[in-house]
């Protein structure tokens, strides 16, 4: 695949517009929203919604056009800009404030699941609400449970089909659901809930269900108090005999024979699209930290001489060069995974690789930034300590660094889960 690092003109214009929002509506409120964890960034949401709505309408149109062209056509496999557009937007918004970015009204992970395993009709029906209307709309995904974290195949939430009403009945509990409260309090919001329809079928019994706001039997029970991304709405949700329309199961409701991983593969396909975007978010936090360190070092009269040999550099200069090298390595891996998505190529290995590298790199970059800046770096006078707390989440959610390293090893060695644990 040829590599072109030039951002297309239309995407660069969008990036500059998002940069304006990040500078004017996010950064000035970062500290206040961090101190008041469950406050909703209403001003930012109302400002950015018209822009996001138009972009989501454009993305929906392109997605549906690809579906209409058929799975085997060249048009479907040809390059697009959908994920590149998302990557640039997410990176810039996370540079502004990653917790506030996670509050933006959009399909978010729900959209990734719908696009990965939904039928064309379901994509049109569920994603249309994010592309029109004057009021913001939120989507979320509920996968993690008290007894099932990184091992998503261990979920215990159940979905049973009622033959009398032809409705699915959901029971179970989900935790750490990003934007789950926002999605369920909004009249058009929705949450993708992963549940098992047949425990005996193993991973093949896993299915994603669209649970719409206002569904009886769905209750938000807890808003998490977090170390970082404190502006983000992160909640627990309990489902008690919640009745879901039959057509709200994404893809086919049929369960294949035991041993098949069809249902589980749907979940993994969702992560193949979402993990590079999480990496892009990490890059935004890392760039914010690197820029701030460079600014403060320059004020102190410390330059970074890029032409000197390594042994002639000071400890701080060597640290900064290593931080920049880690950042750029994570960036290149992320761009590669995103480019593969836009070319319609299978990217499971690359998605996990960029997620691992970005999570680890940004955790290290932000910690080293606090160390270099000393007492003020550790204080709340500057945002750098907040970026350290915010950055760590990228090494945890959408599959921990350890889990993604395991996935990378399995893909490279061509091992299954039973061969390498």
At residue 92, the 3 state secondary structure works out as helix
Using the structure block, give the residue that is written with the tokens 């399995």: 410
At residue 134, the 3 state secondary structure works out as coil
Q: How far is CA 412 from CA 4, 271, 332, 394, in A?
A: 26, 18, 19, 23
Q: Given the residues 91, 115, 145, 398, select the one marked as catalytic.
A: 398
Partnered with residue 174 across adjacent β-strands are: 237
Q: In whole angstroms, what is the distance from residue 145 CA to residue 195 CA?
A: 11
Q: In whole angstroms, what is the distance from residue 364 CA to residue 250 CA?
A: 38
Using the structure block, give the residue that is written with the tokens 């950064």: 27
Q: In whole angstroms, what is the distance from residue 303 CA to residue 170 CA?
A: 59
Structural contact between residues 210 and 192, judged by C-beta atoms closer than 8 angstroms:
yes
Q: How far is CA 83 from CA 59, 88, 376, in A?
A: 9, 9, 38
Q: In whole angstroms, what is the distance from residue 125 CA to residue 64 CA?
A: 11
104: tokens are 């933006």
Per the annotation, the verdict on 398 as an active-site residue is yes
Q: In whole angstroms, what is the distance from residue 226 CA to residue 374 CA?
A: 24
Distance between terminal CA atoms of the chain? 32
Radius of gyration of the chain (CA): 22
CA atoms within 13 A on the CB side of 101: 29
Q: How far is CA 252 from CA 154, 159, 166, 231, 387, in A?
A: 21, 14, 15, 36, 42
313: tokens are 């550099």
Q: In whole angstroms, what is the distance from residue 339 CA to residue 358 CA?
A: 16
Rounded to the nearest 10 degrees, what angle do helices 262-299 and 315-342 cross at? 150
Q: CB burial class (10 A; 0-12, 13-18, 19+) of residue 17? A: middle
Partnered with residue 191 across adjacent β-strands are: 140, 211
Active site residue ranges: 398
């Amino acid at each position: 695949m040829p590599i072109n690092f030039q951002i297309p003109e239309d995407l660069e214009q969008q990036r500059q517009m998002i940069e304006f929002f990040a500078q004017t509506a996010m950064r000035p409120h970062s500290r206040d929203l961090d101190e008041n964890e469950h406050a909703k960034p209403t001003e930012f949401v109302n400002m950015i919604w018209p822009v996001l709505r138009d972009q989501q309408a454009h993305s929906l149109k392109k997605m549906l056009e690809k579906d209409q062209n058929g799975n085997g056509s060249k048009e479907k496999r040809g390059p697009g800009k959908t994920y590149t557009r998302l990557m640039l937007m997410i990176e810039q918004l996370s540079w502004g404030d990653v917790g506030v970015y996670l509050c933006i009204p959009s399909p978010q992970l729900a959209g990734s699941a719908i696009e990965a395993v939904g039928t064309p009709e379901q994509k049109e029906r569920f994603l249309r609400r994010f592309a029109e209307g004057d009021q913001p709309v939120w989507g979320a995904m509920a996968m993690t449970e008290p007894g099932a974290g990184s091992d998503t195949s261990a979920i215990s939430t159940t979905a049973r089909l009622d033959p009398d009403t032809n409705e699915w009945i959901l029971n179970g509990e989900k935790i750490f659901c990003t934007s789950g409260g926002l999605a369920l309090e909004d009249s058009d919001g929705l949450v993708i809930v992963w549940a098992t329809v047949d425990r005996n079928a193993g991973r093949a019994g896993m299915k994603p269900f669209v649970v719409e706001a206002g569904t009886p039997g769905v209750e938000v029970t807890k808003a998490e108090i977090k170390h970082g991304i404190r502006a983000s709405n992160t909640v627990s949700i309990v489902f008690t005999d919640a009745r879901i329309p039959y057509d709200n199961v994404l893809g086919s409701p049929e369960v294949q024979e035991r041993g098949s991983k069809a249902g589980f593969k749907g979940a993994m396909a969702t992560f193949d699209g979402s993990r590079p975007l999480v990496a892009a978010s990490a890059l935004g936090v890392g760039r914010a930290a690197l820029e701030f360190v460079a600014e403060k070092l320059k004020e102190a009269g410390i330059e970074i001489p890029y032409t000197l040999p390594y042994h002639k550099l000071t400890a701080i200069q060597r640290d900064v060069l290593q931080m920049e090298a880690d950042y750029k390595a994570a960036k290149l891996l992320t761009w590669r995974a995103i480019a593969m998505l836009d070319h319609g190529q299978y990217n499971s290995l690359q998605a996990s690789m960029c997620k691992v590298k970005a999570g680890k790199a940004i955790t290290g970059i932000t910690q080293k930034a606090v160390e270099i800046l000393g007492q003020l770096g550790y204080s709340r006078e500057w945002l750098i300590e907040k970026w350290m707390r915010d950055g760590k989440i990228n090494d945890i959610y959408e599959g921990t660094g350890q889990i993604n390293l395991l996935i990378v090893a399995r893909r490279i060695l061509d091992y299954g889960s039973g061969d390498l644990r």
